[in-house]
Amino acid sequence: RKEVEQDPGPFNVPEGATVAFNCTYSNSASQSFFWYRQDCRKEPKLLMSVYSSGNEDGRFTAQLNRASQYISLLIRDSKLSDSATYLCVVTRGGYQKVTFGTGTKLQVIP
Amino acid sequence: NAGVTQTPKFQVLKTGQSMTLQCAQDMNHNSMYWYRQDPGMGLRLIYYSASEGTTDKGEVPNGYNVSRLNKREFSLRLESAAPSQTSVYFCASSERGYEQFFGPGTRLTVL
pLDDT for position A71: 96
Q: Are A23 and A89 in contact (CB under 8 A)?
A: no
Q: Which residues pair with B93 in a beta bridge?
A: B32, B101
Tens of pLDDT, residues B45-85: 999 998 898 999 998 999 999 999 899 999 999 999 999 99
Q: Which of A23, A35, A43, A49 to mutate to test the interface with B (most CBs of B within 10 A)?
A: A43
* Residue pairs spanning A and B at CB distance below 8 A: 47
Judged by CB atoms closer than 8 Å, whether chains meet at B41 and A49 is answered as: no
What is the rounded CA–CA span in Å between residue B89 and residue B51?
21
Q: Show residues of chain B in contact with A8, CB under 8 Å.
A: 40
Q: Are A23 and A4 in contact (CB under 8 A)?
A: yes
- The share of chain B scoring above pLDDT 70, in percent, equals 96
Tens of pLDDT, residues A38-80: 999 999 999 999 988 889 999 999 999 999 999 999 999 999 9
Q: Show residues of chain B in contact with A45, CB under 8 Å.
A: 102
Cross-chain CB nearest to B42 (options A94, A96, A102): A102
pLDDT for position B95: 84
Mean pLDDT of B11-32: 96
Asked if B99 reaches chain A (Cβ–Cβ under 8 Å), the answer is yes
pLDDT for position B40: 79
